Chains A and B, each alone.
Chain A
Amino acid sequence: MPTVSTAALPDIIFMLLFFFMMTSTIRRHTAKVNIKLPTAQTVEKRTDSDGVCFVYIGESRTGGQGMLVQVNDDFVDIAKVGATVMAEKKKLTQPKQDKFIVSLKIHKDARMKLVKQVKDQLKQVGAMQIDYSGTHSTF
């Protein structure tokens, strides 16, 4: 019985591998909350991912706790967001600290009360550069 030649299989797999390596970015943090980002037309691709601190606001996966705030990898009490963000900033090298930016990934159904509280915290500690993550749409 003639066998199918599998000599080209590694080549195919390598091609897939290269494709995924080119199109994806390294995952840094895992959101522990469910977030559906709002859509917008004017969002831009962030050019450099250095010196970014992520603040996630979303629904808890276990349910029943409403909206939760997560800074980089950990859940944070709303009153401690500013301090935590600054602690994360201190961990970075000086050149990265100079272009420090806080990226807010917020669930589209979050209330502005919570968003304002987070922004006030950031203002208080002087983290003025922020960006609002969203999904790109072209209509």
Chain B
Amino acid sequence: MIRARRSIVHEINAGSIADIAFLLLIFFLLTSTMDRNYSMRRDLPAESQEQSNVANRNVLTFSLNGMNELSVNNKAETFDKVSARVKEFILNPTGSAELSEKVNKNVKLLGEVPVSAGVISIKTDDNTSYSAYYRLTDFINKAFLEMKDQQAQKVFGMTYGKLDDLRRKAIDESVPVSIAE
């Protein structure tokens, strides 16, 4: 009797497992999105105290007009020069009196280092398109990332991305990103 039953029920019908899996698959397809969240982090500046107590040489002004044309300190400029301009302004390799001032600052891990007091100012017109503004901030970010990488190579012999939090903070302090809008 028992023998006979065993021989009848020899396997579970797995035909509907595919249907169940399909159902799950469709559920996930509907509830999820493929778009990755890529974004640029930015802290909004507290009410503008800029201009007033920052010396002229320490401000580099990027302006975008209503036609999305770029000018740097009121002179027309092309977008692909933005990174170079920012780097020149912040690093001030020749010690020019027109470019940003270096102030010695005590940074953890690094000791006394010259830190630029430069401020990047971004001015836009009401009619400027967001993509132009985005492009400009992208180039400015790029300049700062490259300078941080350079600094990290110089003092720690590694790229910025490979540093641990403590060292990264030291680099952040020695290459401060100050952007006013």
Contact = CB atoms under 8 A, between A and B. Distances in A.
Interface residues of A, number: 48
A112 B127 contact: yes
A92 interface: no
A94 interface: no
B14 A24 contact: no
A44 B38 contact: yes
B97 interface: no
Contacts of A93: none
B18 interface: yes
B38 A17 contact: no
Contacts of A40: 40, 134-135, 137-138, 141
Contact of A49 (B15, B37, B141): B37
A135 to B, nearest CB: 6
A50 B91 CA distance: 37
A132 B37 contact: no
Contact of A116 (B33, B38, B124): B124
Contact of A13 (B15, B18, B42, B133): B18
B9 to A, nearest CB: 18
A115 B133 contact: yes
B34 interface: yes
Contacts of B129: 108-112
Contacts of B31: 26-27
Contacts of A107: 130
Interface string A91-122: 00000000000010011111111011001001
Interface string B17-37: 110011011001101111011
Nearest to B181: A119
A133 interface: yes
B37 A6 contact: no
Given A6-B18, A25-B33, A111 B126 contact: yes
Interface of A: 6-7, 9-10, 13-14, 16-17, 20-21, 23-27, 38, 40-46, 49, 103, 106-113, 115-116, 119, 122-123, 127-136
10 contacts: A14-B21, A16-B25, A17-B28, A21-B32, A25-B37, A116-B126, A128-B43, A130-B42, A132-B40, A132-B134
